[in-house]
Structure 1
Amino acid sequence: MATALTFAELQQCDDSGDSALLDRIADDLYRDGYCIMDNALPEPMTQALSAYQKALSEQQFSEAGIGRKSLFHKNESVRTDKVCWIDGSSQVGAQWLEWCHSLKAHLNKRLFMGLFSFESHFAHYRPGDFYKRHYDAFKGASNRVLSLVTYLNKEWDALDGGELVLYKDDADTAGVRVTPKLGTVVLFLSEEFPHEVRPATRDRYSIAGWFRVNTTSGNRIDPPR
């Protein structure tokens, strides 16, 4: 498995939520509803996450699906990637979740978003895999509010493909293309932006995550997933 981060590296990650970077993320979200930022994560964390994902066994991944709970199903005409949920049981995973917690707290303070919980998974797209155009949440039907993607691909060239294409609305056919380079972080409002993942010519690694609001009501508990 990946080598654990040293104390100094962990401290650097803990200090990584500097207000200037987080303010830039908040400003972009407020202005545009999305943010694309190169090298947003601390480099030690990015390298550790990349090494950790590549060291995971194939058995730790499962075929990705569509929908939640009783509505969950697999549809290879829509998506063909594999996922492994991050539960914080590893040191690297716990540090990643802590970074996202710091981001959540900052966005709640700056933008009053009411973000309550966060869920995320490693995603592996094999050569030719894809995820067709979709929303992460439908208006009024989900508690996913803010989507996050970070990329873990070293020495990625535009000719390798695998771009995330973020569309501004249903009428948009051009979209904003994001090359899945190591350390790039993308955030966008889950209900507002349809998006897709284009096929790549090599293995493509990333983390996908969602910040959620709390929709617990009465005796119905709304778990993270």
Structure 2
Amino acid sequence: MPFIEHVSDPDLERLALERVVPALLADGFCSVDGLLGHAAGDAALRHVTELHRAGALQDGRLAGSLPGVHRSRSIRGDQIAWVGGAERGGGDAIGFLLARIDKLVSVCASRLGSKKIRERSKAMVACYPGNGAGYVKHVDNPNRDGRCITCIYYLNKNWSAAHGGVLRIFPHLKRYVVDVEPLFDRLLFFWSDRRNPHEVQPSYANRYAITVWYFDAEERAEAKRRFRDLTASSLQTPSAADDITSL
């Protein structure tokens, strides 16, 4: 499990303090455009498209599903791969992206109330094929599995309204929705729990994204304890533990 590094980049610190922290505390979500710039963003996009062409992306599982259980494409239509950021053939571009996000989140971590954010998942590379694939309304962490902040980086150049693929957030107890287009070099932050149900609307062009989740240490430790207790008693793994072991 990767650990978050100390921050030294003043621009990232300023971005975190002036935009990301206030938006998360006030609204529960925040988007940032131009995170990497064109050269680094292009490198990440090339690596992701190469993974896709090579057949490295597999159908994503539903939260709580078990290996071998059929997944309905009407619920979730993406294809995914888990990467660490150090793979050969372009993984350094993903590694650079992850380092930037880590630095942002590490500045935010001590300013988000009682959360103790020290670890994150590997990166989930995802493609929604341009065949109307989407993901129905859901919550990333409905059962206290430890995931605290969801970060999604988009890689889609020349994206237009005709391509669909909007991520729609339904903020808890609010009367409005928030639509986020999956535009190239855009990074989206939001709370992973029940405060932010969201959906991916049907995509009519290949829609690429890289997602990482940051964990609250105490909630994650408790989720691991629950998982160990359930495993020891031979009970079926719950969705929260299943998600944690798959990251």
Range into which the TM-score falls when normalised by the shorter chain: 0.7 to 0.9
* Structure 1, unaligned runs of 5 or more: 1-13
Deviation (angstroms), 1:43: 3.6
Residue 9 of structure 1: aligned partner: none
Query: By how many angstroms is 1:72 displaced?
Result: 8.6
1:130 aligns to what SS in structure 2?
A: strand
Q: Secondary structure at the match of 2:221?
A: coil
> What corresponds to 1:108 in structure 2?
109
1:86 aligns to 2:99 (yes or no): no
Specify the alignment match of 2:43 in structure 1.
48
Q: TM-score, normalised to structure 2's length?
A: 0.75
CA contact (8 A) 2:146 2:221 kept: no
Deviates most, 174-183 or 212-221: 212-221
Q: Which structure 2 residue ranges, 5 or more long, are not aligned?
A: 1-7, 229-240
Closer/same/farther in 2, CA of residues 58 and 17 from structure 1, 3 Å limit: farther
Of 193, 207, 210, 2:210 maps to 207
Is the contact made by 2:16 and 2:105 (CA closer than 8 Å) also made in structure 1? no
Three-state SS of the structure 1 residue aligned to 2:55 is helix
Once the 2 structures are TM-superposed, how far is the Cα of residue 116 of structure 1 from its aligned partner? 2.3
Any residues of structure 2 matched to 1:61-140 within 5 Å, and which?
61-68=57-64, 70=66, 73=69, 74-89=71-86, 90-112=91-113, 113-119=115-121, 120-127=123-130, 128-139=132-143
The answer to whether 1:152 aligns with 2:155 is yes
Tell me how far 1:135 sits from its aligned partner: 0.4
Query: Identity over aligned residues, as a percent?
Result: 24
CA distance in 2 between counterparts of 1:122 and 1:16 reads 28
User: Cα RMSD over matched residues?
Assistant: 2.6
Q: Which moved more, 1:197-206 or 1:109-118?
A: 109-118
Partner of 2:93, secondary structure, is helix
Aligned to 2:177, which of 169, 175, 178?
175
TM superposition score normalised by structure 1: 0.82
Partner of residue 21, structure 1: 15
Residues matched between the structures, number: 210
Is contact 1:16-1:42 (8 Å) kept? no
Q: Which amino acid aligns with 2:14?
A: A
State whether residues 161 and 201 of structure 1, in contact with CA within 8 Å, keep that contact through their aligned partners in structure 2.
yes
1:49 maps to a residue whose letter is A
One-letter code aligned to 2:21: A
Partner SS, residue 74 of structure 2: coil
- 1:10 is matched with none
